[in-house]
């Protein structure tokens, strides 16, 4: 009898082979604790003297959809925007317009205020003169979408812009005058004669304002939105504006370009 | 390091049968091995954590009786005349193997009731615990765990981002504190980093650069803070193994609100001396280069929108030269310049401050040129006449854009 011995050696099955790259790292993480203040504490921090804390509190509130719909929060943010506008203007005033908030606090401050203004604009009532004036006083470019929105709310905005033009800060007047030019395009048939006269007077005065920004911005606004009735005044600016030409740029040249633009449009204020 | 998990051993032996014409072969096997593919995640810079399930105690036995002599029923040599057998499926255990960079292995079991499949580690928190997912007979779970211990579980969510305070942002958009308690809700789901700008999630420039508002303070490498290893979820290393890692680490340190990705094309090296036709690397990284001491001077984040935006601004400016006061700033430099507001656009690599010689007409002309080139321009009431700040973020405040 043949003895059968059938031995199968142990079979090893490789179930998994993992190639592991072990990472070599440079430096460990550093942590910063994230605070999650309540709405109440955020509202309190909106009144902080520290601009960074105010901005952080605003971010906290903005990120809370339920908070942002609260009338109490909305009132606080409107008040905050009002106060930040005063910070911006007083910073300019205190430095004879040589130092702005972006120099003093950093450009992030301007970003914060601009975002705050957009937030406030999302719920503000433009028919309320107080709220409208806070929005009008925000810092913005006179050729911006926001300036266009201000102009479109001319009924409540024009009184604010007229008051704003009375500021002793040139850059504040330099925002108000060009937006008044723009507002006239919306209010053509609705403005009472006295107010219309007052606005036109401001625009003409702005073209001879001692501050270059006021003259330059107003000339540009007239180039975009002005009527033929402004051409004689612009001609005078093109001939007599005192600012020198710098690297090929001057208010006189801008005035000539504005006249050409108005003529091309065929007037229409 | 080669890791071999589990082995199955089978032995066969045959014994002569009790009669001259038969032999009985008994085959028995027992196995212990991984029952599914393992899941791997880095353990900070110490090695890896491997998660797998293994079947243990599985056994089977069969007995075959052969006839091998003449006279078998069909006269076929080695004819199988009878077969008997039985088996025991064993038990499945879930394992977490902590494997050091030197190859040392520490094994721990971690079983959930009704668990189906291995635990999937997704993130590692800065306290070295992990956040992962598991499938159980009662549903899917998000869980925090250490090898051997379950810290907490949350049903029906999955981890997306680990934040520096030990919290988690789930793919549902729910935020959780370090104990797994829901603490809030981001305004939009962050399932995709490529989503359009809306609500609370902001997208800057290219698709892989996202920040949340309020800023999320991420943990940074070596901890695995993002599902998929980085913000784009590409499962590639969040590390560059060069000076870019130092730059990346500065972002959470200074509360920058987002974390750049190592291999994003926006990282430009100094060797690319002319990243765009009219502007040099040295101009665009001047703030970091001239900081004392220079901060990562050989790398800068220079987004394509900045480079094209500056070229277009220059063209709109009549082709005249533009002097850059400052473009990219590292978070460290930004923090030194502006400690109250450490996260402005310069750290995103899409902003530039252009010199005006304090001329109103140059300010107006550069402003117009940049606005026409699609920039967001800071109002003069904030910047003053001394410079024009322009940036090319994907959304800008209504007062900054035409």
Q: Identify the burial level of B139 via C-beta atoms within 10 angstroms of its C-beta, where 0-12 means exposed, 13-18 middle and 19 or more buried.
A: exposed
Which chain B residues contact residue A174 at CB under 8 A?
380-381
> Chain A partners of B25 at a C-beta cutoff of 8 Å?
4, 6
pLDDT of residue B16: 47
pLDDT 10s per residue in chain A (269 long)? 333 333 333 333 233 333 333 222 222 333 333 334 589 999 999 999 999 999 999 999 998 888 999 999 999 999 999 999 999 999 999 999 999 999 999 999 999 999 999 999 999 999 999 999 999 999 999 999 999 999 999 999 999 999 999 999 999 999 999 999 999 998 878 899 999 999 999 999 999 999 999 999 999 999 999 999 999 999 999 999 999 999 889 999 999 999 999 999 984 44
B107 and chain A in contact, CB less than 8 A: no
CB of B383 within 8 Å of a chain A CB? The answer is: yes
Residues in chain A with CB shorter than 8 Å from the CB of B2 are 17-19
The β-bridge relationship of strands B168-170 and B159-162 is: antiparallel
List the single best residue of A59, A61, A69, A144 to mutate versus B (max B Cβ within 10 A): A144
CB contact (8 A) between residue A31 and residue B164: yes
Specify which residues B16 forms β-bridges with.
B23
Min Cα distance B112 → chain A (Å) is 23
For B298-310, what is each residue's pLDDT tens digit? 999 999 999 999 9
Q: What are phi and psi of B268, to 5 degrees?
A: -115, 130
Strand ranges for B39-167 from DSSP E: 39-42, 47-67, 79-88, 91-100, 105-109, 120-124, 130-136, 139-146, 149-155, 159-162
Rounded-to-integer distance, Cα A264 and Cα B20, Å: 120
How many C-beta neighbours within 10 Å does residue B202 have? 17
DSSP per-residue letters across B144-203? EEETTEEEEEEET--EEEEBTTS-EEETTSEEE-TTS-EEEE-SS--S-TTPPSBTTEEE
Residue A156: per-residue pLDDT? 96
Q: Which residues have a Cβ under 8 Å from the Cβ of B325 and sit 6 or more positions away? A: B286, B353, B354, B355, B387
Q: Inspect the interface and report whether the beta carbons of B13 and A6 lie closer than 8 Å.
A: yes
Residues of A in contact with B397 (CB under 8 A): 111, 114-115, 117-118, 146
Which ipTM was obtained for this model?
A: 0.83
* Per-residue pLDDT, A1: 34
Helix, strand or coil, per DSSP, at residue A129: helix
3-state secondary structure of B250: helix
Q: What is the pTM of this model?
A: 0.68
Of residues B3, B184, B341, nearest to A55 (C-beta)? B341
The pLDDT value given to residue B226: 67
Report the pLDDT value the prediction gives residue B238, as an integer from 0 to 100.
58
Picking from A36, A140, A249, the nearest residue to B183 by CB comes out as A36
Within 8 A of A251 by CB-CB distance, chain B residues are 360-361
Q: Report whether B259 contacts B231 (CB < 8 A).
A: yes
C-alpha of A162 from chain center: 20
- Chain A residue at shortest CA distance from B220: A29
For residue A38, what are its two tokens?
């309540």
Contacts of B302 (CB under 8 A, 6+ apart): B266, B268, B275, B281, B284, B285, B327, B328, B349
Under 8 Å CB pairs connecting chains A and B tally to 306
Q: Give B113→chain A minimum CA distance, Å.
A: 25
**Which 254-283 residues of chain B touch chain A by CB within 8 A?**
255
B-interface mutation test, from A89, A111, A151, most B Cβ less than 10 A away? A111
Q: How much of chain B, in percent, has pLDDT values that exceed 90?
A: 37
B36–chain A Cβ distance below 8 A for any pair: no
What would the pLDDT profile of A93-113 be if each residue is shown by its tens digit? 999 999 999 999 999 999 999
Tell me whether residues B340 and A106 touch, CB distance under 8 A.
yes
Residue-level pLDDT, tens digit, chain B, 402 residues: 344 454 444 434 344 444 445 666 666 666 666 666 678 787 777 788 888 888 777 777 777 777 766 666 666 666 777 777 777 777 888 889 888 878 888 889 888 988 988 899 988 887 889 999 999 988 899 999 999 899 999 999 988 887 777 888 888 878 888 999 988 766 433 322 322 222 222 222 222 333 343 344 455 555 666 666 665 566 655 567 788 888 888 887 887 777 787 777 889 999 999 999 999 999 999 999 999 999 999 999 999 999 999 999 999 999 999 999 999 999 999 999 888 888 889 999 999 999 999 999 999 999 999 999 999 999 999 999 999 999 999 889 999 998
Tell me which residues of chain B, numbers 181 to 210, contact chain A at a CB-CB cutoff of 8 Å: 183-184, 186-187, 200
A59–B9: do the CB atoms touch at under 8 Å?
A: no
Determine whether the interchain pair B386/A25 forms a contact, defined as Cβ–Cβ distance below 8 Å: no
User: What is d(CA B121, CA B135) in angstroms, rounded to the nearest whole number?
Assistant: 12
H or E, element range at B237: none
Q: Which of A87, A84, A83, A62 is nearest to A73 (CA)?
A: A62
Q: Do the beta carbons of residue B385 and residue A91 sit within 8 Å? A: no
pLDDT reported for residue B32: 61
Q: Which of A15, A97, A105 sits opposite B5 (nearest CB)?
A: A15
Cα separation, A9 vs A17, in Å, equals 22
> What pLDDT is stored for residue A214 in this prediction?
98
Q: Residue B209 has what pLDDT?
A: 33
Question: Nearest CA to B289 among B276, B273, B304, B313?
Answer: B273
């Amino acid at each position: 009898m043949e003895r059968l011995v059938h031995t199968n050696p142990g079979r090893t099955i490789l179930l998994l082979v993992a190639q592991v790259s072990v990472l070599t790292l440079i430096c460990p993480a550093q942590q910063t604790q994230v605070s999650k203040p309540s709405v109440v504490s955020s509202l309190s921090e909106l009144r902080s003297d520290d601009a960074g804390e105010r901005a952080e509190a605003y971010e906290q509130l903005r990120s809370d959809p339920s908070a942002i719909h609260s009338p109490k929060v909305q009132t606080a943010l409107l008040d905050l925007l009002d106060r930040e506008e005063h910070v911006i203007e007083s910073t300019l005033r205190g430095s004879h317009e040589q130092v702005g908030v972006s120099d003093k606090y950093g450009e992030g401050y301007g970003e914060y205020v601009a975002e705050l203004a957009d937030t406030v604009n999302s719920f503000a009532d433009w028919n309320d003169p107080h709220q409208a004036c806070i929005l009008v006083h925000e810092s913005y470019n006179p050729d911006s979408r926001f300036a266009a929105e201000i102009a479109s709310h001319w009924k409540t905005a024009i009184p604010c812009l007229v008051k704003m033009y009375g500021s002793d800060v040139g850059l504040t007047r330099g925002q108000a005058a060009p937006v008044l030019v723009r507002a006239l395009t919306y209010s053509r048939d609705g403005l009472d004669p006295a107010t219309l006269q007052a606005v036109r007077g401001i625009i003409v005065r702005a073209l001879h304002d001692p501050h270059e920004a006021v003259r330059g911005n107003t000339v540009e606004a007239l180039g975009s939105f002005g009527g033929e009735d402004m051409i004689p005044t612009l001609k005078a600016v093109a001939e007599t504006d005192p600012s020198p030409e710098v690297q090929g740029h001057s208010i006189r040249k801008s005035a000539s370009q504005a006249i050409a633009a108005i003529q091309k449009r065929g007037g229409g204020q | 390091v080669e890791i071999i998990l589990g082995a199955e051993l089978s032995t066969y032996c045959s014994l002569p049968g009790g009669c001259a014409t038969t032999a009985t072969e008994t085959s028995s096997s027992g196995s212990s091995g991984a029952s599914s593919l393992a899941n791997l995640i880095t353990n900070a810079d110490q090695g890896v954590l491997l998660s797998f399930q293994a079947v243990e105690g599985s056994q089977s036995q069969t007995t075959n009786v052969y006839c091998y002599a003449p006279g078998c029923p069909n006269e076929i040599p080695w004819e199988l005349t009878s077969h008997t057998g039985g088996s025991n499926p064993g038990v499945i255990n879930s394992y977490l193997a902590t494997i050091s960079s030197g190859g040392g292995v520490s094994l721990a079991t971690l079983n959930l009731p009704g668990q189906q499949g291995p635990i999937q580690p997704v993130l590692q928190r800065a306290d070295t615990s992990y956040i992962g997912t598991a499938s159980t007979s009662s549903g899917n779970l998000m869980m925090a765990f250490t090898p051997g211990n379950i810290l907490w579980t949350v049903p029906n969510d999955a981890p997306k981002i680990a934040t520096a305070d030990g919290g988690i942002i789930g793919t549902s958009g729910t935020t959780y504190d370090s104990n797994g308690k829901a603490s809030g809700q981001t305004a939009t789901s962050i399932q995709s980093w490529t989503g359009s700008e809306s609500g609370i999630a902001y997208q800057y420039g290219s698709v892989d650069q996202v920040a949340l508002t309020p800023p999320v303070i991420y943990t940074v490498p070596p901890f695995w803070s993002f599902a998929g290893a980085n913000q784009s979820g590409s499962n590639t290393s969040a590390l560059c193994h060069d000076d870019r890692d130092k730059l990346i680490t500065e972002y959470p340190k200074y509360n920058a609100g987002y974390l750049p990705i190592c291999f994003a094309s926006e990282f430009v090296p100094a060797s690319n001396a002319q990243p765009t036709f009219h502007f040099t690397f040295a101009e665009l990284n001047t703030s970091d280069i001239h900081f004392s001491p220079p901060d990562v001077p050989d790398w800068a984040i220079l987004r394509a929108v900045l480079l094209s935006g500056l070229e277009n601004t220059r063209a709109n400016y009549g082709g005249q030269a533009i002097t850059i006061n400052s473009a990219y700033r590292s978070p460290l430099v930004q923090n030194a310049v502006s400690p109250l507001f450490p996260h402005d656009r310069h750290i995103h690599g899409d902003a530039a401050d252009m010199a005006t010689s304090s001329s109103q007409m140059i300010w107006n002309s550069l402003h117009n040129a940049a606005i026409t080139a699609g920039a967001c321009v800071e109002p003069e009431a904030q910047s003053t006449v001394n410079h024009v700040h322009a940036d090319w973020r994907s959304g800008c405040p209504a007062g900054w854009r035409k």
